[in-house]
Amino acid sequence: MPNALELRSIRFSRNGRPILADFGLSLAPGEQALLLGPSGCGKTSLLNIAAGLLTPDSGDVLLMGERMPARAADRDALRRRTVGIVFQTLRLISALSLRDNLALAARLAGQPADGIDRLLAELSLSHRAGARPRALSQGEAQRAAIARALVARPALLLADEPTSALDDANTDRAAALLVRLAAEQGSALLIATHDSRLKAHIPRAIQLAAAPDRVAA
């Protein structure tokens, strides 16, 4: 079986400033890792590259053995089939209820929606299933983002600071749920975080160094 994610010799810069240089990473199906490093080292950029939301300057991205396509529409289709993303900000459709947002995410990924109520219950969101996104508290919104990523049963689950707005109890609960459901689904899990509390749940850590200030001449 191919790796869920493979990054080969990734280079990425922004405004002439190198962010990632010859970075490589592989995650087998079901493998879990934390992506650690100081602010500005490229953690979020790396997740976006892995998801096909950013294009690296050079290097290869493979999802389940399939090379990231050049066309945006093809990248979108591959991402919907294989990747679930927990963003730092809530990205739900404001006109739909939480349950309808999750049902839409499942449908776009070609997955059944029969696990939505269980997922909402495990994240203590059952009572908010009919609420619109703007009515959710910050903690509820972050848990809703986790639910949206998980409902698509992705081969690769990417999470960007998924516990930044949660207290210790909800951090442990959300992290345990991410780890357990990713394992149950056979999903690889990569979490970019500053939250040292997550080390108790995921032992493998990939450290990114601070990016240099400028491109070498």
- Residue 212 within a domain: no
What Å distances lie between residue 155 and 73, 85, 211, CA to CA? 19, 11, 29
- Residue 201 within a domain: yes
Neighbour-count burial of 195, counting CB atoms closer than 10 A to its CB (0-12 exposed, 13-18 middle, 19+ buried): middle
pLDDT digits (tens, 9 = 90+) for 25-44: 999 999 999 998 877 788 99
- Residue 21 within a domain: yes
Residue 140 pLDDT > 90: no
Q: Which domain holds residue 192?
A: 5-207
Torsion of CA 200, 121, 193, 149, to 10 degrees: 130
Residue 212 pLDDT > 60: no
H or E stretch at 192: strand 188-192
CATH number at residue 75: 3.40.50.300
- Residue 214 within a domain: no
- Residue 23 within a domain: yes
Residue 175 pLDDT > 90: no
Give the three-state DSSP class for 166: coil
pLDDT for res 210: 65
Q: What is the mean pLDDT of residues 82-108?
A: 90
Quickly tell me which residue has 């690769």 as its tokens: 156
Q: What is the mean pLDDT of the chain?
A: 88
- Residue 17 within a domain: yes
Instruction: Indicate the number of domains in the chain.
Output: 1
Q: Is the pTM of this model over 0.85?
A: yes
Residue 217 pLDDT > 70: no
